[in-house]
Amino acid sequence: MDATDDLYDAAARERRVAEPPKRVAAPERTPFERDRARVVHAASSRRLAAKTQVVGPQSDDFVRNRLTHSLEVAQVARDLSRALGSQPDLAETAALAHDLGHPPFGHNGEEVLSALAAECGGFEGNAQTLRILTRLEAKTFDDDGESVGLNLTRATLDACTKYPWRRDEAPGPTGARPKFGVYDDDLAVFAWLRTPETGHRRCVEAQIMDLADDVAYSVHDVEDGVVAGRIDLTRVDVAAVGEAVRSWYLPEATDPEVASTLAGLREVGSWPTTRYDGTRRTLAALKNLTSDLIGRFCGAVQSATHESGPGPFVRFRGDLVVPAQTQREIAVLKGIAAHYVMQTDDRIALMSRQRELLAELVAELVGRGPDALDRQFADDWAAAGDDAGRLRVVIDQVASLTDVTALAWHERLVRRRAS
């Protein structure tokens, strides 16, 4: 048993459907270790290997996909959790699960499904993750014969909840696509895993997962862009990167702040002084930079958090503290990737076609009904009480597809019919 296990009470370990302890090997696994194993072995986790992170996974053997990204996030989360005194298995499981709800084509696909699902409560990758863990990825059923998904503990589900609120409670500017963590028809399990006194506050383990995600993709997307030949860290257009930072991440960031932040990053000893050329030496140098940046960000957060209170930082006993400088450095790295990779003409054209494809596929499946759906979703269609419920089933089906299968389904159901 991990030394932190005593910090989590019976309510944190509770499952919606009670399960007897399993003794399959010595020593017996803790409830949180069992949760981690369930996520690792889930079909939804395997599908992440064929889902886009930034560049499509079929485009290059080197670039990260959603699965490799999740593994890297899990490593960062586990190390940071241990340093802060919380249960490492909780943070790691949340990190492994954090992208399960992402549809084909990454955030681009999420934008499309959000618009198409307006009449059934919208679409959000984090709300979809909760739906997968508590309903769609079936392992356990309750006394009424309803799926409770993987039947994870309350603490694990809470750690997986990045946005603990409904769509109509989401903070942010009017007109922006809201970030939220639960659909209205999943409110029963949400009420079970949350307590009224916590409100919209995230548990520490969810905060660790969220930071680990930010750290990993800010650093690794730049690494992928360098290796792909799209980014040259020795020549960065500060004004263009600043515009990307403001558009995507920090609206209040000024060009002088972006320039100063980039100058600080360039002072990291492993920041390259020569262009990446594909040799083992420059690849090793790039990996050293990746390691140094992750250590820089996590070290700053660890120090600031420890300075805020005595710890250990468990559940709702304190909050993660991310220094403003660290936030700016992460945002600038994201801005570099956004400008040089995600906003290029070829990328924009590809994303436009992906949006068309998903919209056509959803329309086709709504029109065809259950005969075109996988068996479990056809059953959900039959159980749906209205058009909104049936639309949600189609959204669930499409969101479950990988990039490759979305293309294959569109070819089979839409293009062949049209021809």
Q: What is the pLDDT of residues 84-133, one digit of tens each?
A: 999 999 999 999 999 999 999 988 999 999 999 999 999 999 999 999 99
- Across 153-168, average pLDDT: 96
Cα distance between residue 393 and residue 391, in whole Å: 5
**Cβ pair 124, 181 in contact under 8 A:** yes
Write down the pLDDT at residue 93: 98
**Burial of residue 180, with CB atoms counted within 10 A of its CB: 0-12 exposed, 13-18 middle, 19 or more buried:** buried
Write down the pLDDT at residue 3: 61
Write down the pLDDT at residue 219: 96
Write down the pLDDT at residue 348: 87
Residue 58 pLDDT more than 60? Answer: no
Distances (CA, A) of 100 to 129, 131, 266: 5, 10, 34
Write down the pLDDT at residue 311: 86
pLDDT-based confidence at residue 239 (cuts at 50, 70, 90): very high
Q: What are phi and psi of 279, to 5 degrees?
A: -75, 160
Distances (CA, A) of 127 to 71, 98, 241, 419: 21, 10, 31, 37
Cα distance between residue 2 and residue 88, in whole Å: 9
Mean pLDDT taken over the chain: 92
Cα distance between residue 268 and residue 132, in whole Å: 40
154: Cα separation from own chain's centroid = 19
**Cβ pair 105, 403 in contact under 8 A:** yes
Angle made by CA atoms 386, 390, 392, in degrees to the nearest 5 = 120
249: Cα separation from own chain's centroid = 16
pTM, 2 dp? 0.93
pLDDT-based confidence at residue 416 (cuts at 50, 70, 90): confident
Residue 59 pLDDT more than 70? Answer: no
**Cβ pair 32, 87 in contact under 8 A:** yes
Q: For 272-275, which contacts have Cβ atoms below 8 Å and span 24 or more sequence positions?
A: 272/233, 272/234, 273/234, 274/234, 275/232, 275/234, 275/235
Residue 27 pLDDT more than 90? Answer: no
Give me the architecture of the 5-62+72-198 domain, per CATH: Orthogonal Bundle (1.10)
Give percent above pLDDT 90 in the chain. 82
Cα distance between residue 71 and residue 217, in whole Å: 12
For the stretch 130-151, pLDDT in tens is 999 999 999 999 999 999 999 9
- Across 331-335, average pLDDT: 97
Cα distance between residue 339 and residue 335, in whole Å: 6
User: Which pair of tokens denotes residue 202?
Assistant: 């995230």
Write down the pLDDT at residue 172: 75
**Cβ pair 201, 164 in contact under 8 A:** yes
- Outline which parts of the chain fall under CATH 1.10.3210.10: 5-62+72-198
- Across 318-346, average pLDDT: 93
- Helices 387-400 + 345-368 axis angle, to 10: 130
Distances (CA, A) of 202 to 210, 314, 339: 10, 11, 31
346 or 382: which carries more pLDDT confidence? 382
For the stretch 371-389, pLDDT in tens is 999 999 999 999 999 999 9
Write down the pLDDT at residue 160: 97
For the stretch 246-256, pLDDT in tens is 998 999 999 99
11 or 342: which carries more pLDDT confidence? 11
Residue 62 pLDDT more than 60? Answer: no
Residue 419 pLDDT more than 60? Answer: no
